[in-house]
Amino acid sequence: MPRLALIIVSLSLVAACASTGAVPRPFPVPGGTARGGSGTDPGVPAPPAPPEPAAAPAGNADGYSISATALSLRGAPYRDGGDTPKGFDCSGFVQYVFAQHGVSVPRDVRRQFQLGTQIDSTTLSPGDLVFFTTVAPGASHVGISVGGDQFVHAPSGNGAVRVDNLSAQYWANRFVGAKRVN
């Protein structure tokens, strides 16, 4: 694709990150079929998934391993509705990272904001979720704390997963809360 076309496509994706409500593709299960699939006939649709729980089930990971996974995805492109390393939006990024550690979280920001235990921003630990209001009142953007003043997220602004500081004026003015889910 010519560079100019790539730039135009990238700029068209510079919408703020509020989940579109897109349903992610199922994650593969080692040695089996995709979660939610029937496992018998690929032409037969899978039964509907049960409603997601109000609290995320405990996985096999601590906050440091969750934040390490999130950091390993720096540079992955932003894509509205994206939920894979080929392209993430903010909530798809969070869902993907936690799924890598066996923790199921909802797909959209507002439902992610309902998870876990609310914590004060002064007690953030790696793996905690941080929420911001960007395009609508209430939580409309999410990231993962990596410790100290930093968090990793999939912002639409520069088109790639990156690390930012919570104390940066833009994020500090939009911070709406933090949750611990594991």
**Tokens 């729980």 -> residue:** 53
Tally Cβ neighbours within 10 Å of residue 166: 18
Supply the pLDDT for residue 19.
45
Q: Give the mean model confidence (pLDDT) for residues 52-80.
A: 80
Domain-embedded: residue 115? yes
34: pLDDT strictly greater than 70? no
Domain-embedded: residue 107? yes
Domain-embedded: residue 38? no
Domain-embedded: residue 46? no
Contact by Cβ (8 Å): 128, 63: yes
Q: 103-147, pLDDT tens digit by residue? A: 999 999 999 999 999 999 999 999 999 999 998 889 999 999 999
CA distance 95 to 117: 17
Residue 100: half-sphere exposure toward Cβ, Cα within 13 Å: 19
Domain-embedded: residue 170? yes
How many structural domains are present in the chain?
Answer: 1
Residue with the larger pLDDT of the pair 87 and 36:
87
Domain-embedded: residue 98? yes
91: pLDDT strictly greater than 70? yes
CA distance 128 to 66: 9
Cα 173–chain centre separation: 21
Cα–Cα distance list, 23 to 8, 47, 81, 118 (Å): 26, 14, 8, 26
Active site residues: 90, 141, 153
Please state which of the ranges 47-56, 70-79, 147-156, 157-166 shows the lowest mean pLDDT: 47-56
Q: Give the mean model confidence (pLDDT) for residues 93-102.
A: 97
Q: Give the burial string for 53-71 (b: 16+ CB within 10 Å, else e).
A: eeebeebebebebbbbbbb
Domain-embedded: residue 41? no
Residue type, 51: P
176: pLDDT strictly greater than 60? yes
Q: Give the mean model confidence (pLDDT) for residues 11-35.
A: 39
CA distance 94 to 108: 9
CA distance 45 to 91: 25
Question: For position 141, which CATH number holds?
Answer: 3.90.1720.10
33: pLDDT strictly greater than 50? no
Domain-embedded: residue 34? no
> pTM score > 0.75 for this model?
no
162: pLDDT strictly greater than 50? yes
CA distance 164 to 86: 21
Domain of 140, in residue numbers: 3-20+56-180
